[in-house]
Amino acid sequence: MGCHFSKLCSCCCAAGHGRLLHEPENAGSGEAESGAVPSFQIFTIDQLRTATSGFAVENIVSEHGEKAPNVVYKGKLDNQRHIAVKRFNRSAWPDARQFMEEAKSVGQLRNHRLANLLGCCSEGEERLLVAEYMPNDTLAKHLFHWETQPMRWAMRLRVAFYLAQALEYCTSKGRDLYHDLNAYRVLFDEEGNPRLSCFGLMKNSRDGKSYSTNLAFTPPEYLRTGRVTPESVIYSFGTLLLDLLSGKHIPPSHALDLIRDRNIQMLTDSCLEGQFSNDDGTELVRLASRCLEYEPRERPTPKVLVSALIPLQRETEVPSHILMGIPHVGEALPLTPLGEACLRRDLTAMHEILEKLGYKDDEGAATEMWTNQMQETLDSKKKGDVAFRHKDFTVAIECYTQFIEVGTMVSPTVYARRSLSYLMNNMAKEALDDAVQAQVISPVWHMASYLQAAALFAVERENEAQIALREGTVLEQKKA
């Protein structure tokens, strides 16, 4: 069955909303967020296959799509938590033990400035990482490829500050190497706050040899030694400061030439005109220049970067999602009749809507294939449809089960109808399983999310039900 992927602006990950300046050094690390971010765990490949609808193309969120050497997918666990799953190519981590050691080490980090690592999977040749899902794109998208509005100056300063805090936290925990720090590694959470991707903390070699970006942007010492050092990370942070200032990806050598010639205006994004003082611009340029020093020992530490960026923060009382101009996850979405029925637990109304939908979400292909199957199988589906129409839900379950167990054809609508039939028979767990299966087959079908919500309401998992209800609403709106 074909379907179209659409990015959601809803996610169940916890956010660091409202925490801006003068926080305790370990705010959000460890105990402070233990309730929000679960402990690191080992996943099976089957769990991650289910979560990503079989690594469906529709769920790819990598900037480079399915042609990238390591593809990142959006997924959803049984508890409704959205995740990002990075699937490495077969040659990336030949040593399974080294991969597990690295992942477990990075997985101990917990901070509201990171897109934290939730777990990993190592089975056979498969190597996968599981992280918090960030629904609002990358810094590269907002800086270089924006569609509605350029990023405001106050938000650019906040990005620099939060990233410096992330690097300072990682350094304090003994993880001072970050590989290929760039605008694609900076992600925005549901509150619009920037987070540093945990994926860059994984080093797939013992001596720190790893750098995949354009060599024109690499630290000079990397070209000499082929190694990434903590000072190399600061150099890359300097290139990010240039990105934030210019709105373009400018080679550091060219930027430094402009700075030496005191041609700062050529370096500044024209979209920022009138948004900041000369002093602010000069200070950011000065900080970038220090990060880009040729000699590594001349560069500032993350702690110094944090201190230097605090005085530059502007509009600190304004939430990030407002500065970014993105929808806020806390904003109520207007519910459709189907969403209202789900919220009221009105199964009769949901039955009427599902009955009227028919099989149109199977996109027609299914009917042709069914006519070529065994007559007995086709009859069991037809009998199930008749029973479903006449609200004989026990018979509907029996008939749909016969059809499903033959296994020659999968239909999200059959799973959805059996799910509602289970709900009508007070079999909420079975209903939830079928609703999840409907979404595995059709990752962006709103009805599957609504049925998950109804089943979760039935088992009194209120928070998870509200998340599924919101997801169904977003999907239905996108389809309209």
Which residues are marked as active site? 180
SS3 track for the chain: CCCCCCCCCCCCCCCCCCCCCCCCCCCCCHHHHCCCCCCCEECCHHHHHHHCCCCCHHHECCCCHHHCCCEEEEEECCCCCEEEEEECCCCCCCCHHHHHHHHHHHCCCCCCCEECEEEEEEECCEEEEEEECCCCCEHHHHHHCCCCCCCCHHHHHHHHHHHHHHHHHHHHCCCCCCCCCCCCCEEECCCCCEEEEHHHHCCCCCCCCCCCCCHHHCCHHHHHHCCCCHHHHHHHHHHHHHHHHHCCCCCHHHHHHHHHCCCHHHHCCHHHCCCCCHHHHHHHHHHHHHHCCCCHHHCCCHHHHHHHHHHHCCCCCCCHHHHHCCCCCCCCCCCCHHHHHHHCCCHHHHHHHHHHHCCHHHCCHHHHHHHCCCHHHHHHHHHHHHHHHCCCHHHHHHHHHHHHHHCCCCCHHHHHHHHHHHHHCCCHHHHHHHHHHHHHHCCCCHHHHHHHHHHHHHCCCHHHHHHHHHHHHHHHHHHC
CB-based contact 470:10 (threshold 8 Å): yes
